[in-house]
Amino acid sequence: MLRENSPTASRLANFGESVFTRMSRLAAAHKAVNLGQGFPNFDGPEFVKTAGKAAIDAGFGQYARSFGLPECNQAIATRFHADSGIEVNPEREITVTSGATEAIVAVMLGLVEPGEEVILVEPFYDCYPAAISMAGGVLRSIRMVSPDFAFPVEQLRAAVTPKTRLILINSPHNPTGRVLSDQELSQIAKIAIDNDCLVVSDEVYEHIYFERKHTSIATLPGMRERTIVVSSLGKTFSLTGWKVGWTIAPEQFTQAIRSAHQFLTFSTATPLQRAAVDALKAPKEFYTQLRADYAARRDAMLCMLRNVGFDPFIPEGSYFVLAKHEPFYLKPGALAPDEDFCEHLVKTVGVAAIPCNAFYDPAATRDVQESTSMIRFAFCKDLETILEAGRRMQAVMKPTLEETKVFKMDR
C-alpha cells in the first residue's frame, strides 16, 4: 500500500536526518572547518591498520561467527578485565556488533517490550531515542543542567515507574564532557537496584578522560548482574569508520541482544574484528599517550574558544566541549537560536559546530532556553585545524554585552 503523506514509518518519521550528517554536508558545501561531527581528522595507529591489511591478506574474508570472531570476544574480555577487574565469559557474555550504534539498537530491540519505558538523560546522543522508538519503547527523559551538568538523581528517582525497563547512562559523556563521579554512579546504582531496572552504560569514550578516571557502573556492588556495557573501537583507536563495537552483559541479556543482532547485521566485518584483537592488546603507554594528546587538543580548543569570546564548559572526558552562544547571540523568541547560530557559523564564518537542541527530548516540556542555548565543538582534530577555526571566528565575531543582544557578526 502506498501512503500518501510520509513514506517513512511513524517509528522513524519524526527523527529526520541526523544533525551530524546535516552539519558535515553543510561544512563540505561551505568549505568550513568541521568541528561538528565527532570524527578525528587524523588517522588511526599504524599497528591497527597493519593488522587490518594483514587480516585481509590472510583470508579473513567470510562471515564471522554471528556473535563475534572467537579471538575478538576473548580480546574484549581480557581488555575489560584489565580495565575494570571484572571477569566476563567471552563466549556467553560478549557480542561483537557493527559499532556501538548497532549495539544500542540491538539492546533496545532485544530487551524492550513495546510500551516499556527507557530513561534517558538529556542532553543525550541522538541515536538513543530513535533506537527506543524502533523497539516500540517509551522514552522518559530527565535532564542534566548547565553549568555543572550534575547527574539529576532526584529526577531519576521520580522518573522510575513499574514500567521502567532500562536506564541508559553515558560516561564519559557526549556532548557535555562529564565523567560521572563515584558518588553519582552509586546513587544511580542504588535506584536501579531498588527498582529492579537494568542499566545500559554507553562507555565508548572510556579511555578519553582528563582529571577523574572513568569507572564502569558495572563494577559497583550489585550492578554486574544488571548492567549492559556498550563500547566500541572507534574513539579509542581513531577509526570511527571501522564500526567494531560490542556489548558486555550477563548471559540471559546477551541472548536477548544476540537475538536482535543476528537479524540486524548477522555479523561484523571479519578482518576488522581480527585487527581489533591487535588493537585491544595495545600496551598501557598507548592509552597514556591517547589521553595526553587529547588533553593537549582540549586545552587548545578551550584556549581558542576563550580567545574568540566564548565561555566554554570544561570537559572532564570525551572529545567534545559545549559553549553557550549567548555572548554573541540571543534572539528573543527565536525557535531554535542554536540552529540559527550554527547555520550562520558554518555558512558565513566557515566553522561547523553542532546545535545542541539535537540532544534534547522534543516532547519534554522543560526550559527551552537551556536546550537551545548551547553549541558543541569537537576537538578530535589536529591543532592546526583548531587554530584555523579560531582565526576564522576571531576575524568576524565580536562578543557583545549590550542589553539587546543580536548577531555581532558581519552578516
Footprint on this chain of ligand PMP (rule: CB under 6 A): 38, 99-101, 125, 170, 174, 202, 204, 232, 234, 240, 243, 245
Residue 265 contact among ligand GLN, ligand PMP, none, beta carbon within 5 to 8 Å by kind: none
**Binding status of residue 407 toward ligand GLN by CB under 6 A:** no
Cα 110 off chain centre by: 21
Residue 195 contact among ligand GLN, ligand PMP, none, beta carbon within 5 to 8 Å by kind: none
Q: Pick between residue 253 and residue 320 the one whose CB is nearest to ligand GLN.
A: 320
Distance CA 175, CA 178 (A): 8
Helix (H) or strand (E) holding 138, with range, is: strand 138-143
Distance CA 201, CA 220 (A): 12
DSSP per position, 3-65: -SS-SS-HHHHTT-S-HHHHHHHHHHHTT-EE-SS---SSPPPHHHHHHHHHHHHTT--SPPP
C-alpha distances out from residue 38 to 30, 104, 240, 348, 399, Å: 18, 18, 9, 21, 26
Q: Pick between residue 37 and residue 73 the one whose CB is nearest to ligand GLN.
A: 37
Which residues from 243-262 bind ligand GLN, rule CB under 6 A? none
Residue 270 contact among ligand PMP, ligand GLN, none, beta carbon within 5 to 8 Å by kind: none
Distance CA 378, CA 298 (A): 9
CA-angle at 129, arms to 127 and 134, nearest 5°: 90
Q: Pick between residue 60 and residue 294 the one whose CB is nearest to ligand GLN.
A: 294
Q: Pick between residue 130 and residue 138 the one whose CB is nearest to ligand GLN.
A: 130
Q: Pick between residue 83 and residue 202 the one whose CB is nearest to ligand PMP.
A: 202
Q: Which of 307, 378, 383 is nearest to 23 (CA)?
A: 378
From first CA to last CA, the distance across the chain in angstroms is 48
Residue 251 CB, shortest distance to ligand PMP, in Å, is: 23
Using DSSP's 3-state secondary structure scheme, residue 307 falls into helix
Residue count of the chain, please give it.
Answer: 411
**Binding status of residue 287 toward ligand GLN by CB under 6 A:** no
Distance CA 92, CA 97 (A): 14
Residue 37 contact among ligand PMP, ligand GLN, none, beta carbon within 5 to 8 Å by kind: ligand GLN
Residue 245 contact among ligand GLN, ligand PMP, none, beta carbon within 5 to 8 Å by kind: ligand PMP
Q: Pick between residue 60 and residue 124 the one whose CB is nearest to ligand PMP.
A: 124
Cell of 159: 522518573
Which residues from 162-221 bind ligand GLN, rule CB under 6 A? 174
Residue 214 CB, shortest distance to ligand PMP, in Å, is: 13
**Angle at which helices 99-111 and 251-264 pack, to 10 degrees?**
110
**Binding status of residue 20 toward ligand GLN by CB under 6 A:** yes
Residue 84 contact among ligand GLN, ligand PMP, none, beta carbon within 5 to 8 Å by kind: none
Residue 175 CB, shortest distance to ligand PMP, in Å, is: 8
Q: Pick between residue 97 and residue 164 the one whose CB is nearest to ligand PMP.
A: 97
C-alpha distances out from residue 242 to 71, 235, 273, 372, 409, Å: 17, 10, 9, 32, 39
Q: Pick between residue 20 and residue 287 the one whose CB is nearest to ligand GLN.
A: 20
Whether the CB-CB separation of 110 and 258 falls below 8 Å is answered with: yes
Residue 141 contact among ligand PMP, ligand GLN, none, beta carbon within 5 to 8 Å by kind: none
Q: Pick between residue 18 and residue 255 the one whose CB is nearest to ligand GLN.
A: 18
Q: Which residue in the shown chain puts its C-beta closest to ligand PMP?
A: 99
Which residues from 22-51 bind ligand GLN, rule CB under 6 A? 37-38
Pattern 375-404, ligand GLN, x by CB under 6 A = ------------------------------
User: What does the binding site for ligand GLN look like in residue numbers (CB under 6 A)?
Assistant: 18, 20, 37-38, 174
